[in-house]
């Protein structure tokens, strides 16, 4: 028997502490990520876990429901990592720019999953998109509020509008990257970072702008030192 309690949002804990349902979700998430959401069947997931297909259908109505929970698991696992990074440098704007690199980890995988989800499971795609947007919006709202309290963002800023603009600008940049003609030598990560930098520079206080400039001067020096090695 598996424990009744849930550690669904703590993927770093041992596999044995998960419930059977959670084990299935994590295994399915890994299989969808590695082999694609179209090619993986319920039979494949049942076989990988050593359970019957009947067990899967007792816990999940169909593949679309399991796919939904698996995608949300991947998204929450990713956000858990980013939020942990946020706590390390919560009182500086440096987190915003460090987190860009983390968001870009496995970007090709996430874009492929999103594209296939939209194509083969459009209803699930919309459900996942709306919930992910809500999650991201809450985090951004809280973050901007915090930076206002820290004196790094001007207190007159419209937080809800700022969150909406930043979220959709960054999301559009990532999802349409294949159709964009970026300048030579400019990566998608560079473009995303540039977008976020200038957005926050526009709503930052004098101290916030100073931190932004200091951060990028330090990064530039690091790159120059690396190139000279």
Better-predicted residue by pLDDT, 86 or 226 = 226
Query: pLDDT digit string (tens) for 56-95?
Result: 999 999 999 999 999 999 988 888 877 776 666 667 887 7
Q: Are 138 and 76 in contact (CB under 8 A)?
A: no
Residue 104, pLDDT > 60, answer yes
Residue 9, pLDDT > 60, answer no
Sign of the four-CA dihedral 27, 28, 30, 31: positive
Question: Which residues are CB-contacts of 122 (< 8 A; sequence separation ≥ 6)?
Answer: none
Q: Which residue has 């915003």 as its token pair?
A: 96
Q: Are 144 and 90 in contact (CB under 8 A)?
A: no
pLDDT, mean of residues 123-138: 91
- Please tell me the distance from the alpha carbon of residue 174 to that of residue 96, in angstroms, as a whole number: 17
**Main-chain phi, psi angles of 153, to 5 degrees:** -130, 140
- Please tell me the distance from the alpha carbon of residue 47 to that of residue 38, in angstroms, as a whole number: 17
The SS3 assignment for 68 reads: helix
When the pLDDT of each residue in the chain is averaged and rounded to a whole number, the result is 84
Q: H or E segment at 209?
A: helix 206-228
Output the CA–CA distances (angstroms, integers) from residue 60 to 27, 64, 221, in the order listed: 14, 9, 52
Better-predicted residue by pLDDT, 27 or 3 = 27
Which top CATH class is 15-228?
A: mainly alpha
Tokens of 72: 């949300």
- What's the confidence (pLDDT) of residue 226? 82
Residue 96, pLDDT > 60, answer yes
Q: Which residues pair with 153 in a beta bridge?
A: 204
Selection from 57, 75, 62, 56 nearest residue 128 by Cα: 75
Selection from 135, 146, 141 nearest residue 87 by Cα: 146
Q: Are 66 and 124 in contact (CB under 8 A)?
A: no
- Please tell me the distance from the alpha carbon of residue 174 to that of residue 192, in angstroms, as a whole number: 8
Q: Which residue has 């939209």 as its token pair?
A: 118
Query: Model-level pTM?
Result: 0.78
- Please tell me the distance from the alpha carbon of residue 13 to that of residue 97, in angstroms, as a whole number: 28
């Amino acid at each position: 028997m598996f424990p009744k309690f849930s550690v669904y949002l703590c993927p770093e804990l041992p596999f044995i502490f998960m419930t059977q349902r959670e084990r299935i979700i994590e295994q399915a998430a890994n299989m969808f990520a590695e082999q694609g959401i179209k090619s993986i069947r319920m039979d494949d997931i049942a076989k990988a876990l050593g359970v019957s297909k009947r067990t899967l259908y007792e816990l999940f109505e169909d593949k679309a429901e399991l796919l939904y929970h698996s995608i949300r698991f991947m998204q929450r696992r990713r956000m858990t990592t980013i939020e942990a990074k946020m706590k390390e440098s919560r009182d500086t704007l440096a987190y915003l720019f460090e987190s860009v690199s983390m968001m870009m980890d496995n970007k090709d995988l996430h874009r492929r999953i999103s594209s296939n989800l939209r194509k083969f499971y459009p209803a699930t795609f919309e459900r996942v998109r709306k919930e992910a947007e809500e999650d991201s919006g809450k985090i951004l709202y809280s973050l901007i509020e915090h930076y206002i309290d820290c004196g790094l963002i001007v207190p007159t800023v419209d937080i809800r509008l700022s969150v909406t603009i930043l979220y959709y600008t960054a999301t559009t940049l990532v999802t349409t990257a294949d159709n964009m003609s970026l300048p030579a030598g400019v990566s998608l990560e560079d473009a995303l970072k540039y977008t976020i930098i200038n957005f926050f520079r526009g709503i930052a206080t004098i101290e916030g702008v100073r931190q932004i400039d200091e951060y990028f001067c330090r990064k530039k020096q690091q790159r120059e030192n690396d190139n000279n090695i």
